[in-house]
Chains A and B, each alone.
Chain A
Amino acid sequence: MVPYSIETHHLSHAFKHRPVLHDLNLQVPSASIFGFLGPNGSGKTTTIRLLLGLIRSRKDAIRLFGKDSNLHRLEILSRVGALIESPALYNHLSGRDNLEVIRYARQVEKKQLDQVLELVQLTGNTRQKVREYSLGMRQRLGIAMALLGNPDLLILDEPTNGLDPAGIRQIRELLVELSQQHGKTIFVSSHLLGEMEKIATHLAILNEGHLLFQGTMAQLQHLQLPVLSVETDNNQLARDLLQRARYRLLDHGPDQLTISIEDSQQIGAINRLLMDQGVAVYALQTNQQTLEDLFFTLTRQSEAANPNR
C-alpha cells in the first residue's frame, strides 16, 4: 500500500485568470479519514474536480495511489468512488436504474446494488423515480453510487448535506466503519467543523484557495491554545487594557471577554493588570479553544498576513 492515497504538488488553478487555488500540497494518508475543511468558496470543490480529472491539471500535479492522474485516469477512477456537491442523478430514472448506470461502468455484480442500498438505508421503494426523492434520499443515493464497486478511495463533497441528524450520524458511523474495518481512505470536504472533529483522523484547512493547516487531529489540537474567560464589572475598560497590553482577544461578542493564553502564569498577570487599574474581577475560567475558534484564528491570521489577498 502506498503511504498516500492522494498527493498534490504545487497544485494551482484559475478560472478565466481568476486564481482560485494557490500552490496546494496535499498529502492524504492511506486508510485515513481526511477532513478537507474550508468556508464556502474556499476552493474545496475545485480541488475535488481537479482530483477527479473533471478539470484538467498540469502533468504530475496530482498523484492518486502514487500514479499521475493524467496518465492513469481509468486505472485510478476504477478505485475511486465520488460524490461531488449535490448528487448528479438521472431524475427520470429510478434509484435502482441510477445505480445500474454506475454498475455498467464499474462491472460489478448485480447483488452489490442491494448491498449499497442497504448500507445507506434506502431499501424502500427503489423503483420510485428519483425526481420524487427528498433531498436526504438523493444524498443517500449519491453516497450509494460512490460506494458501488467497493472503491479504495472515497471522495465525498459535503456528504451530509440535506440529511437529518439521525442520517448525519448514520453516515458518520458508516464512514468510520469503512475506514477502520475495511481500510478505505475517505476524503471528505465539509464546512461543518464540528462534524469533522468527530470523525477525521487528519485535517486540511483551506481558505481562499490557500492551505492554512494540514496534519493529524492531534497536531491540530496542539495548536489549540487554552483560552481564559474573564468576568469583570467593566468589560469595555478591561478589553481596552488587555488590548493595550498586547493580549490576544478572541471575538466572542461584546459581552464576553475571552483571551488566548499560553500558560497559567498569564492568568495571574491578567488578574493583576485588571485589579491594578481598578477593574473588579468576578471570575476567571480557563477552557480549551474549540476547533471553530482555531479555524477562525487561522483564517484571520492568514488574512492579516496577506491583507491584499
Chain B
Amino acid sequence: MMTLSYFVRSLSQERLKFKGTLVVWLALVAPVFVAVVAFMASYLDGHNLYQKGINPWLDYSGHILIGWTLFVFPIYVSLLSALVHAIEHQSNTWKTVYSLPMPKWSIYAAKLVLFTGLIVFSHLLLFGLAEAGGYLLGVLKPSYGFQLFSLHWVLAEGCFAGLLSGLGLCAIQFYIGLRFSSFIVPAGFGLMVTMAGAISRSLPISRFSPYLWPVSFFNRSIQVNNWQYGYVYIGMLTFLIGAIAGFQMISRRDVS
C-alpha cells in the first residue's frame, strides 16, 4: 500500500513539473506533423499515388508508419528525453529531489512511466490522426476510394508494434538523458544515430541499431505477413535492461 502511495505521489510531482514546459507540446506536435504531411501529400498528389480498385489505405498507412518510424519517432524520443531530464538538470534540483522522504525507485519509476506514457500517447494520437485523415480524404477526395476500404486493424497493429520495437531506443535515450546534464548530449546523440541509421539502412549491420528497429519491423512492407516480430521482442528486452541500468545508475550516484 505504501509502495503505491509513493509511486502515485511521485507521479503527481513529475506531472506538476511538466507544467509550462514544451514536453507535452512535443508529444502532440510530433504525430500531428507526420499525419498532416501524409494527409497533404495524399490530398494534393493522390491521383498519382492511388489507383482505382486498390486499397488506398495501404500506401497511405505505409507513408505514415515508415515516415514516423524512420525519422520522426527516434528524433522525437531524443528531444523528449533531453527535455524531460532538463527539468532537473538545468535547475540542479536533484539535491531537492533526493533530500525529500521519497524512495529513489519511486522517483525513477515515475519519470520513466511518464516518459513512456507520453510516447504511448503520441502513438495513439498518430493512429487516431491517421484514421481521421483517411476518413477526411474519403469525404474530400472520393475519387481516391478511401471511403470504400479500411485498414483499421493493420494500422493499429503497425502503430503498436512500431512502438514496442522502439522501446529499446526509448530506454537508451532515457538513460543518456539521465546520465548527462547537458541538453545537447541526449538530443545530439539521438539525432546523429538516427541520421546514421537512415544512411546505412540498407547495410546488414544496421539491424543492430535500436534506432532502426521500429522501421526494420515493417520490412519495407505494409503486409502483416512480412513484418519482423523479432524486433518487438528485442525492443522490449532492451527497454527492460535499459530501465534496470538507469535505476542502478541513479541509486549509486552522488549528488554534487
B156 near A: Cβ within 8 Å?
Answer: no
Interface string of A97-123 (1 = CB under 8 A from B): 100111011110000000000000000
Residues of chain A with a CB closer than 8 A to B254's CB: 49, 54-56
Q: Given known contacts A84-B95, A92-B20, A105-B100, is B13 in contact with A54 (CB within 8 Å)?
A: no
Least CB distance from B5 to A in Å reads: 8
Residues of chain B in range 116-165 having any CB-CB distance to chain A below 8 Å: none
Contact A104 B9 (CB under 8 A): yes
Answer yes or no: B226 CB below 8 A from chain A CBs: no
Q: How far is the CA of A15 from the CA of B254 in the complex (A)?
A: 11
Report B71-110 CB contacts with A as 1/0, cut-off 8 Å: 0000000000000000100111111101111110000000
B96: which of A92, A104, A145 is its contact (CB, 8 Å)? Answer: A145
B101 touches A77 (CB 8 A): yes
Q: Which of A15, A54, A91 meets B255, CB within 8 Å?
A: A54
A71 beta carbon closer than 8 Å to chain B? no
Residue numbers in B under 8 Å from A52 (CB-CB): 95, 98-99
Q: Does A74 contact B (CB under 8 A)?
A: yes
B12: interface (CB < 8 Å): yes
Residue interface bits A31-63, CB-to-B below 8 A is 1, else 0: 000000000000000000100111110000000
User: Closest Cβ of chain B: how far from A113's Cβ, in Å?
Assistant: 13
Q: A223 near B: Cβ within 8 Å?
A: no
Interface size on B, residues (CB 8 A): 27
B138 to chain A, nearest CB (A): 43
| A74-B101, A77-B100 known; A93+B16 contact, CB < 8 A | yes
Query: Is the C-beta of B202 less than 8 angstroms from some C-beta in chain A?
Result: no
Whether the pair A104, B98 counts as a contact (CB closer than 8 A) is: no
Contact B95 A88 (CB under 8 A): yes
Which residues from chain A contact B87 at a C-beta distance below 8 Å?
90, 92
The answer to whether residues A92 and B21 also contact, given A54-B95, A74-B103, A105-B100 and a CB cut-off of 8 A, is: yes
| A129-165 interface with B by 8 A CB criterion | 129, 145
Asked if A90 meets B101 with Cβ closer than 8 Å, knowing A49-B95, A56-B254, the reply is no
Are A90 and B9 in contact, CB atoms less than 8 angstroms apart? no
Docked Cα-Cα span, A77 to B100, in Å, equals 6
Asked whether, in the complex, the Cβ of A105 is within 8 Å of the Cβ of B9, the reply is yes
Interface flags for A64-100 (1: CB within 8 Å of B; 0: not) read 0000000000110110101010001111110001001
Inter-subunit contact A78/B99 (CB<8 Å): no
Is B52 interfacial (CB 8 A cutoff)? no
Which of the residues A49, A75, A97, A101 comes within 8 Å of B256, measured between beta carbons?
A49
Asked if A102 and B100 make an inter-chain contact with CB atoms under 8 angstroms apart, the answer reads yes
Do A49 and B255 touch (CB < 8 A)? yes
Residues of B within 8 Å of A104, CB to CB, are 9-10, 12-13, 16
Q: What A residues does B93 contact at CB under 8 A?
A: 88-90
Q: Which residues of the partner chain A approach B16 to less than 8 Å between Cβ atoms?
A: 93, 97, 100-101, 104
A88-B92, A90-B87 known; A78 vs B101 contact (CB < 8 Å) = yes
Contact A82 B255 (CB under 8 A): no
Q: A55-B256, A90-B91 are in contact. Are A106 and B98 (CB under 8 A)?
A: no
Q: Is the CB of B99 within 8 A of A91?
A: no
Interface assignment of B17: CB less than 8 Å from any CB of chain A: yes
- Report the bound CA distance from A105 to B95 in whole Å: 14
Query: What separation, in Å, do the CA atoms of A84 and B182 have in the docked complex?
Result: 22
B96 → chain A closest CB, angstroms: 5
Which of B20, B100, B254: most chain A Cβ within 10 A? B100
Closest to A129 in B: B20
Return B19 CB to nearest CB of chain A, in Å: 6
Shortest C-beta distance, B101 to chain A (Å), equals 4
**Does B99 contact A77, Cβ atoms closer than 8 Å?**
yes
Q: Which residues of B contact A77 (CB under 8 A)?
A: 99-101
* Pairwise interchain contact B99-A80, C-beta atoms closer than 8 A: yes
Which chain A residue shows the least CB distance to B9?
Answer: A104
Contact B103 A55 (CB under 8 A): no
Interface positions, chain A 10-36, Cβ under 8 Å from B, are: 15
Choice from A54, A56, A91, A145 contacting B91 with Cβ under 8 Å? A91
The CA of A56 and the CA of B256, in the complex, are separated in Å by: 11
Compute how far the CA of A54 lies from the CA of B255 in the bound complex, rounded to whole angstroms.
5
With a cutoff of 8 Å between Cβ atoms, the chain B residues found around residue A75 in the complex are: 101
A153–B256 alpha-carbon span in the complex (Å): 22
Measured CB to CB, the closest approach of chain B to A209, in angstroms, equals 16
List 25 contacting pairs A-B, 8 Å CB cutoff, sorted by A: A15-B256, A49-B254, A53-B98, A54-B98, A55-B254, A56-B254, A75-B101, A77-B100, A84-B95, A88-B92, A88-B94, A90-B17, A90-B93, A93-B16, A93-B19, A97-B16, A101-B13, A101-B17, A102-B96, A104-B10, A104-B12, A105-B9, A106-B100, A106-B101, A129-B20
A residues touching B (Cβ–Cβ < 8 Å)? 15, 49, 52-56, 74-75, 77-78, 80, 82, 84, 88-93, 97, 100-102, 104-107, 129, 145
Which residue numbers of B lie inside 8 Å of A, CB to CB? 9-10, 12-13, 16-17, 19-21, 87, 90-96, 98-103, 252, 254-256
Q: Given contacts A102-B96, A104-B16, list 5 more A-B pairs with CB under 8 A.
A: A55-B254, A55-B256, A77-B101, A102-B100, A105-B13
